[in-house]
Structure 1
């Protein structure tokens, strides 16, 4: 079972690339773009290759053996 942590967002959704940075899964936007385009990131178990994909609270984002649950802080 992968490690599941939570990341709180202020708005109703966040772009996938921004979420990876917010969750400290990647160092910067360039790395976020690379790992997303390489098909290394999943949202709710589905591979996503567009970094502009909107992620909403309740979604689980996976990358490099880590899983992050998006929660709402609003």
Structure 2
């Protein structure tokens, strides 16, 4: 499982897709979520604005599993 370090309180699912190179631009997030199944903490999620917080686990089949981690102060 790859860790994704965030610098703010949360990151959106659309931002995460771009950070993981699942998509090349933020505008592709809506399309990607319509065409692919993405799991957040084991539950299917298709909202690009879904807020992801530290310790959330995101599974994107064929791309990878990611855990949100807060940046150390």
Answer yes or no: is the 8 Å Cα contact 1:39–1:47 preserved in 2. Answer: no
Q: Which runs of 4+ in 1 moved over 6 A?
A: none
Give unpaired runs (5+ residues) of structure 2. Answer: none
Name structure 1 gaps, 5 residues minimum.
Answer: none
* TM-score when normalising by structure 1: 0.82
Question: Structure 1 CA distance, aligned partners of 2:26 and 2:10?
Answer: 18
Alignment correspondent of 1:71: 69
Distance apart, 1:39 and its partner CA:
5.2
What is the correspondence of 1:1-74 to structure 2 with a 5 Å cutoff? 4-38=1-35, 40-65=37-62, 66-73=64-71
Give the secondary-structure state (helix, strand or coil) at the position aligned to 2:5.
Answer: strand
TM-score, normalised to structure 2, is: 0.83
